[in-house]
Structure formats: structure tokens, C-alpha cells
Amino acid sequence: MKQLMLFGAMALLLSSCEPDPFPLELTRFDVSWFDVDQSGNQTLDDRIHFDVLVNITDPESDEQFITQWEFAYFVNGSFGGVLLGDERTNANSITAQLDVTPRFLQGPGQTPIEPGDAIEFRLWAVDNHGTQLEQFHTITIQH
């Protein structure tokens, strides 16, 4: 009888476990720096190009979808702004291409970006199961 109860308890325990949700896949996060002023340094006038692709990984494509994503930036650790994003995506993948010139970004409190500032670019996405993906890229503006 004890063996039967133990077997029943094990079966109940195993049947109540949910499988781990499928992760989001960062298929591409390419960053290119264009030295526009030909200084050899990352300066205010240079251009940074981002090419991003995020996919679901669930083979049942109707079971997983990206619900929200954003591409934001932070200056010296403080939030600067959202450059791209969608709060109601409901898609199996997101693709984004973005060109950024640091001179045209604003720091916290609408202060201009200056040499010495560190700019962190953050890609964030979440799916319908709450699974999140984040990717970062940081540059420091030089003279």
C-alpha cells in the first residue's frame, strides 16, 4: 500500500510541473561604428549602426510570441530615452536597424552628451510567458 501511495504522489508531483518556457533567441546584434570625422576615436559626430534580430524558439509558433520590446539608452548610468520599441508587438520575431549619432542624443535632464560620457544601449524584449532577453553595448565618447 505504501508503494502505491508513493507512486501516486510521485505521479501527481511530476504531472503538476510545468516545463520551462522556451527562451527568446538573440539571432543578431551587430554593431558597426563609422568614424565620420576620421579621428580614430568614438566621438560625438561618429555614427553607430545597430542591426538586431530576436526570434522565438518554441517550435509551436502559436504558443510563444514577443509581446513588448524596446531599444533604449542610458548616459553615465541614468536613463536617456527610448530610441525604438513597441508595447504591443505580438510577433514571432522583431527586426530593427538603427543609426545613432551621439551628438543628437540627450542625457538625463536634456543635457547634451559630452566627451567622457559613457552611453549604454540596451535591447530588451519579453514574451507572453514573461521570458525576458537583454543585450547591452556601451561606448565612451572621446575627444
Give the pLDDT confidence score for residue 127 in this predicted structure.
97
Domain annotation covers residue 3: no
Checking if the pLDDT of 9 tops 70, the result is no
Give the pLDDT confidence score for residue 128 in this predicted structure.
96
Checking if the pLDDT of 35 tops 90, the result is yes
Q: CB–CB of 75/117 below 8 Å?
A: yes
Structural domain count, the chain: 1
Full-model pTM: 0.85
Residue 16 or residue 40, greater confidence:
40
Q: Which of 4-13, 42-51, 71-80 has the lowest mean pLDDT?
A: 4-13
Per the structure, the complete domain to which residue 92 belongs is given by 21-140
Give the pLDDT confidence score for residue 19 in this predicted structure.
76
Give the pLDDT confidence score for residue 109 in this predicted structure.
85
Domain annotation covers residue 7: no
Domain annotation covers residue 5: no
Burial class (CB in 10 A: 0-12, 13-18, 19+), 23: middle
pLDDT tens across 73-126, in order? Answer: 999 999 999 999 999 989 999 999 999 999 999 988 889 999 999 999 999 999
Q: Give CA–CA dist 120/136, Å, rounded.
A: 7
Torsion sign (Cα): 80, 82, 87, 92: negative
Domain annotation covers residue 9: no
Q: Parallel, antiparallel, or unpaired for β 47-55 and 93-100?
A: antiparallel
Residues 6 or more apart whose CB falls under 8 angstroms from that of 57 comprise 22, 23, 24, 25, 64
pLDDT tens across 46-70, in order? Answer: 999 999 999 999 999 899 999 999 9
List the CATH number of the domain containing 98.
2.60.40
Domain annotation covers residue 26: yes
Checking if the pLDDT of 16 tops 60, the result is no
Q: Where are the beta strands (DSSP E) in 5-142?
A: 25-34, 47-55, 66-75, 78-86, 93-100, 118-127, 132-140
Domain annotation covers residue 115: yes
Give the pLDDT confidence score for residue 96 in this predicted structure.
96
Most distant CA pair in the chain, distance: 82
Give the pLDDT confidence score for residue 31 in this predicted structure.
97
Domain annotation covers residue 10: no
Domain annotation covers residue 57: yes
